[in-house]
Structure 1
């Protein structure tokens, strides 16, 4: 019997892993994101799908540790000074958004004919956004560290704190809850505050010495165990005091953000975080009771739409009142329009004290889960349905009638450095770029940069490409650089064109486009870096110079071979389709000696990666 039970458990573990491994790549390939893949996989293998699992609650409780660890890692990125700098967003923007959305969502329930206490509980639960979904989406888009991402994080932190007074209100709204003494309520609040203070003091005075002692022991597995102990211990302390586990983990991360062990902790926690967070989304998908959805689909559909629309409206109104740009306000509204995992806690507490019954709890849970499923789809729809904000050209001059001897297209970090030798020699330089913010920033440092898109022929004429002696293509996007080079060489065939290449493949395309000179953007600096590394190891500078030159020769030979192979392939294609060979561009004058590659051995010639 024990063997059979063990075998069944192993089947479930394999099913969980297989569901994630199969579903996530498929959904990401379809452009729907990993979260939707996990949620769909959970529905398929859950109690209302293939029934690999009969109860999702146990898995959900374990999987919530993924959210806990995710918040810990986010906390490691938030130094206390940075968090203090967000205090206005947390207690201003966050509190206002939670308050306005709670009123609007409560009004939805009252308009549907439900008592005000039930309407408030349902709406308040939906106010609490899914930290796991929003954080994951921000991480996938690389926006957590951006200002708009930080504002969303601030609201999420306030919502995590709001779970405490909301649970207290649940106790007050319960039948007979008004009889609860004020002393008991103040005691609960005091316990929560004491837990926060205790965790802050422990993090400030105990954690660093603790990890220092463990580091001296030089036992890697003990450091990993200690990292898990800190995360789970802080989460448990907050849970026992009535706060959320995620809040405890986040505070622990913030307190360790300036520790010398920060990067070690992040490396130890990351594998557990990724697996458990995926497990959390799987468990949420399993929790969707399809029987309840089918039996009450009209009511659930109405309230999913009503709650998401009203919450998004409240978020948008608050954002605009606080002078947020339209697009950012719209994105925040769509990102945060769903209910979250803390709603499950609030609804369960309300059902336990008799405010709502089990049927209402199941329906509200289904509404929240469906809103979570719809969020990635809503974000995709937003991306396709709304055009990007047009850039304001206030204070920016459009390229017209420029007469510089040299035209620089693109004034990022590469173009700025490339322009300095020309300017120091007194050469008349015209500069165009299509990034308004960069143009305005360059003006603060005395650079005159004009607005213009180098992929447009009319802009090139207006920027003086026909009168210039040379054009420097310094844009950072490979395809754009190649397109500009092709356009210039087609319209101004005698003009000297020098181009920045992103990697070896781009360099080959630029030469085929006819540029007179190209340089891979990181190669020369990497070559100098490698030479300095040799000198630091005691190699004679003359020997270093010889080694570096040898790298250049090898790279140039490989580059010429690849270019010739590309030409021969093109000739073979044309002979097979047209019957006439084309002239080789190898006879054209060009300089490729500077086109270097990071590899230092011929053995890598067969499978050469991008730089």
Structure 2
């Protein structure tokens, strides 16, 4: 329909529509937004509905999304934090790149490729996709976890690795008779890159903060946004000119501004551009998948995807285990990093330009990388499911057996951790069971003896001493699991008092109907205390604040009683009739006269 040279409003609408339709659908199916963007790009690209015929040009523009993503990551990486990661960057990252590079070079060589071609193809695949990995870490809420920070460190090393790899492409081409120009000496490329890094660091240290201060004092809000974009794109362009990646330049600019007074403003200004352009990047990658190459060379493409992903995953897992990671963390990292990435396009393009790759090999290797990126969300889903279903390692953990505590705790999350303190203060003998082995080990470091046991199983309840306990305290996180435990305990251990942590009002009603001795919503009392403190902080007298809390508590009890008798809709109707003014549920205002205006209230 159009190519990117004639990029107009119609094409913008098509791109937005593709993302708006595909991403929510794929997320609803549990496949993630990355796969949604890739599928949408394939559908509207030159091998689908042909709304676009020049995916490569769009890809170059969309790479700015990755650039801005790295800038925002840099804003969260203060220099001190980055310094703490130095061993993981240059140790773990280098070990992973070198190990996987050697293994994948061997795969290419066994497939019949010349050694130099096999090495370049392998090293391109070794450079994992920063965009895919960071997006999946964000969606899983893992970016700031320890494992997430290790992933960031490895990605930084891979960004740095592009410089010597591009220089080696020129050398390999010369040795193999390819290329028409004299290759730039490796020492010269590295020297230029180091000088460029020093220039960016100097500018960030002495120029950026004063520049933003000057613009902020001028009061031009839109100019501050323009300045943020200028810094990101300018740093990226300068780094590219000295042989480093644009993403590395943007990341470095973010790190240099991470301690700036304008850090949060910059993040807010860049975030909308980052999100849109990153989505555009994934769309353009999907468009770039050459289906003609995949179909014509399907044996080589499919075999390459499987062999490269499997061998790379094995290399990553081995390095992770040798570095001290447990099985779960190593398996997770293997699945996350098993794909090729956007830097492969740069490396393969350079190899094609100097004659090291022929067009066929370049097209096949590019298709392998794109398919591996598309498969990563599926691989992660499979890995999580296998991890969840795999037998739990109980090394150093005792299973529940012949326990005899006066009180049985089922679940030891944040709620139970506080509740146990009260009982411990009076020396009450307790038995505690939990299914989260990490929680059990962590609690053991603080002197808690917790046994492994699933409270939803009747045999485990018997082994945990539920038949001898005076009270059973159900403190699990999932309401469905709590309901099942209550049903088992009411049927099999009727003499034990049953105290249950409720998730919300609906869960409380179910527990009351099930006949538990006591239930409480996990946040209800703490939220009331929070509100009371706010009132006193605003100048209301202590007695007034307490009256307001008691009024809310009474109204909540009335509503629960009404819902038990007449159902939710009837309770809403009757309670609204008692309210002085209509209010959104579940909030019920204090009775008239109990709380006065702060201006007239007596202050403490």
State the TM bucket, normalised to the shorter chain: 0.7 to 0.9
Structure 1 window deviating more from structure 2 (258-267 vs 508-517): it is: 258-267
Within-5 A mapping of 1:429-508: 429-508=430-509
Partner of 2:128: 129
Q: Report what 2:119 is aligned to.
A: 120
How far 1:161 moved relative to its partner?
Answer: 0.4
Match of 2:63 in 1: 64
State the aligned residue count.
576
Q: Secondary structure at the match of 1:498?
A: strand
Deviations 1:109-151 (A, max 9, x none): 3223332222222222111111111111222222222222222
Cα distance per residue 1:441-488 (max 9 Å; x no partner): 333333333333222223323333233332222222222222222221
Deviation at 1:45, TM superposition (A): 0.7
1:287 is displaced (CA, Å) by: 0.9
Aligned match of 1:344 = 345
Could you tell me how far 1:296 is from its partner in structure 2? 2.3
Alignment-derived partner of residue 277 in structure 2? 276
Partners of 2:203 and 2:448 lie apart in 1 by 51
Q: Deviations over 1:347-371 (max 9, x none)?
A: 1111112212333322221221122
Deviations 1:15-72 (A, max 9, x none): 1011111111222222222111111111111112111112112211111111111112
What is the alpha-carbon distance in structure 2 between the residues aligned to residue 105 and residue 534 of structure 1?
Answer: 65
Question: 1:138 aligned to 2:124?
Answer: no
Q: Is the 8 A contact 2:169 2:351 kept in 1?
A: yes
Please report how far the alpha carbon of residue 177 of structure 1 lies from its aligned counterpart in structure 2 after TM superposition.
7.6
Matches for 1:154-303 after TM superposition, within 5 Å? 154-175=153-174, 184-303=185-304
Kept in 1, the 8 Å contact 2:167–2:185? The answer is no
**Residue matched to 2:39:** 40
Task: Provide the C-alpha distance between the structure 2 equivalents of 1:260 and 1:244, rounded to a whole number of angstroms.
Answer: 27
Distance 1:391 1:205, change over 3 A: farther
Match of 1:51, SS state, is coil
Q: Is the 8 A contact 1:498 1:515 kept in 2?
A: yes
Contact 1:558 / 1:605 at 8 angstroms: preserved in 2? no
Deviations 1:365-397 (A, max 9, x none): 122112212222222333344555544434434
Q: Secondary structure at the match of 2:473?
A: strand
Q: Does 1:604 align with 2:584?
A: yes
Change (3 A) 1:326 1:417: closer
Aligned-pair Cα RMSD in Å? 2.9
**1:330–1:545: structure 2 CA closer, same or farther, 3 Å change rule?**
closer
The answer as to whether partners of 2:164 and 2:186 remain within 8 angstroms in 1 is: no
| Cα distance between partner residues in 2 of 1:551 and 1:213 | 51
Encode CA deviations 1:231-277: one digit per residue, 9 max, x unaligned: 22221221111111111111222223333433332222222111111
Asked whether the equivalents of residues 504 and 520 of structure 1 are also in contact (C-alpha less than 8 Å), the reply is yes
Once structures 1 and 2 are overlaid, which stretch shifts more, 339-348 or 439-448? 439-448
Q: Which residue of 2 aligns with 1:408?
A: 409
Bigger drift between 243-252 and 187-196 goes to: 187-196
Preserved contact between residue 410 and residue 475 of structure 2 (Cα < 8 Å): yes
With normalisation by structure 2, the TM-score equals 0.88
Tell me if the contact between 1:535 and 1:541 (Cα under 8 Å) persists in the aligned partners. Answer: yes
Question: Which residue is 2:72 aligned to?
Answer: 73
Query: What SS does the aligned partner of 1:497 have?
Result: strand
Q: Find the aligned partners of 1:153 and 1:606 in 2 and give their Cα distance.
A: 42
Change (3 A) 1:476 1:99: same
Unaligned runs of 5+ in 1: 570-598
Q: Structure 1 residues 568 and 373, CA, compared in 2 at 3 Å: closer, same or farther?
A: closer
Contact 1:129/1:338 (8 A) holds in 2: yes
CA–CA distance in structure 2, aligned partners of residues 177 and 6 of structure 1: 32
State the shift of 1:508 in Å: 1.8
Pair 265,95 (structure 1): closer, same or farther in 2 beyond 3 Å: same
Relative to structure 1, the CA distance from residue 345 to residue 7 in structure 2 (aligned partners, 3 Å threshold; closer, same or farther) is closer
The change in CA–CA distance for 1:557 and 1:314 in structure 2 (over 3 A counts) is same
Describe the shift of the 1:222–1:327 C-alpha distance in structure 2 as closer, same or farther (beyond 3 A): same
Q: What SS does the corresponding residue of 1:174 show, helix, strand or coil?
A: helix
Structure 1 length normalisation: TM-score? 0.87
Q: Is the counterpart of residue 540 in structure 1 residue 520 in structure 2?
A: no
Q: Mean Cα displacement is larger for which, 390-399 or 190-199?
A: 390-399
Q: Which moved more, 1:322-331 or 1:62-71?
A: 322-331
Determine if the alignment matches structure 1 residue 10 to structure 2 residue 43.
no
* Residue number in structure 1 paired with 2:103: 104
**Bigger CA drift: 512-521 or 552-561?**
552-561
CA distance in 2, matches of 1:535, 1:42: 56
Deviates more, 1:6-15 or 1:75-84: 6-15
Change over 3 Å in CA distance of 1:567–1:266 after alignment to 2:
closer
Aligned: 1:377 with 2:357: no
SS at 1:404 equivalent: coil
Measured in 1, the distance between the counterparts of 2:6 and 2:180 equals 51
**Is this contact kept in 1: 2:47–2:291, CA < 8 A?**
yes
How far apart are the structure 2 equivalents of 1:487 and 1:567? 27
Q: Aligned-pair distance for 1:163? A: 0.3
Q: Is the 8 A contact 2:41 2:285 kept in 1?
A: yes
Partner Cα distance (1:218, 1:228) in 2: 17
Match of 1:432, SS state, is strand
